[in-house]
Amino acid sequence: MPWTRMKSAAAAIAVGSLVTIALSTGSAGATAPPPTAPSPTAPCDAISPIAIPCVALGKVGDALATECRRVGIPDALCVLPLAHRVTQAARDAYRASWVHRTAQFQYRLGDSLPFGDAQWLGTHNSFNSLANSLTLSHADSNQQLTLTQQLDIDVRALELDLHYIPRILGLLGSRAVTVCHGQPPTAYDLGCTTEPTFAKVLPEIATWLNAPGNDDEVVLLYLEDNLKNAAAYASTISTLDQVLKRPNGSSLIYKPDASQKAANGCVPLPTSVSRDDVRASGARVVLVGSCAPGWSGNVFDWNAVHVESGSTSGYRDFPTCDATYGPSVYATKLVRYFEDTTLVSTLLNPTRKPVDPEALTPAKVQAMTNCGVNVFGLDQLLPEDGRIQSTLWSWAPDEPSATGGGCALQGADGRWVAAPCTEVHPAACEDGGTWTVTPPVTFAAAPAACTAIGSTFDVPRAGNQNSALHAVAPAGAWVDQTVG
């Protein structure tokens, strides 16, 4: 897959100090994690012995800053102390940056991988954003950006929490499927109030998918089930079928094959299917959640094929990786890590220090990417905070350079650079998931050199594959990728 397919002519620009820090820094190798943008609550964190007061003050700041933007004041004037910096300028800078270009490239590079190996940049409680409206649960937000804005900065795995609650406004107290961050039905959906219905939230995703330039994207949509009601499942299915379709009426949903139903009445998510397979079927959205026969016609059961959040604080870089899940888990299941920055979660741990050991920092995200974590559930994701950059394992910053050469070389730090094709380097060869390298050859001679040792000249398509190659080629190697 030539880089030309993904390369944009736009050059990286820096807007504000945070954008400069996160988007325009030097190469980040295995021992040099991407920089972390300063926490908005850092001044409070420095003097408070526990996290609660700083988190609470930050939530107030975020709410005031959001309302400032909502009434039409320029966003640069709405950056308040202890609040997240949310500006259109930062998003514009991201869209013109090497980070965006490389994130798109890696997404495409992984399109042929089975779901069990593919990686997805995702957000946790993606809907729970102050940008949508000020409600009880939104005030304790997980995100600062709308669903559209998250998709625009390369998020491809979204989470919507579904509840079935009486509607105080508009429906005269009748129940409707509502998207909110609240307690389960056994706790009376505490926290859910006037949040928007599923029927009002889902169109934002469909609109983005149908917009020019996005019609080839594939999105993983996790529906967290707090419905537990036959009428609620029927309503959910109806909304999915009515909304997730193209303007011509054809469905965007990758439907479960009823012949593959398990004993529990649901179809397990097929880990052997790829994003390319989804596209080939004509679909663009893969729906996952827990097993509920009421929605199993549209939603895959992923409980049996995925695990969530082992020891984040104990996570180490490749090859040590996860203190909770061993290599066999990574080989057979989707691994998802998420964080929770809500005040409610902080109150449950009242003695926690201001710096959360379970936070998905850039260094942790980089280690997890290198180890093959499949799905991230990031909170408060902003384009300049360093975490998207930390999911990049292929091209080094500002690569491939126009003057570097026409062929891709994995460098000594594990990142790729453009190099003259006539240079001699070991060639990266893959056979059944095992990487080996040849003696130094030119790029043109690499395929034959790999064939000579019973292998195939290839290119890593995920962070753990790139790590495995780097482990056997610490000085660098050609990868099967051209620049042009």
Rounded mean pLDDT, 18-28: 41
* Domains of the chain, start order: 106-390 (3.20.20), 407-482 (no CATH)
Q: Residue 159 has what pLDDT?
A: 98
Q: Residue 12 has what pLDDT?
A: 32
Share of the chain residues as helix, strand and coil, in percent rounded to the nearest 5:
30, 15, 50
Task: Name the band, by pLDDT with cuts 50, 70 and 90, for residue 27.
Answer: very low
Task: Tell me whether the omega of the peptide bond preceding residue 319 falls within 30 degrees of 0, making it cis.
Answer: yes
Phi-psi region of 391 (alpha: psi -120 to 50; beta: other; left: phi over 0): alpha
Write the DSSP string, 191-215: T-SSPPBHHHHHHHHHHHHHSTT-T
Rounded mean pLDDT, 360-372: 96
Number of helices and strands (H, E) in the chain?
A: 16, 14
Most confident of 70-79, 185-194, 235-244: 235-244
Inform me whether the pLDDT recorded for 2 exceeds 50: no
The predicted-structure confidence for 130-165, as pLDDT tens digits, reads as follows: 887 777 777 899 999 999 999 999 999 999 999 999
Inform me whether the pLDDT recorded for 238 exceeds 90: yes
Give the residue with greater pLDDT, 344 vs 169.
344
Task: Name the band, by pLDDT with cuts 50, 70 and 90, for residue 28.
Answer: very low
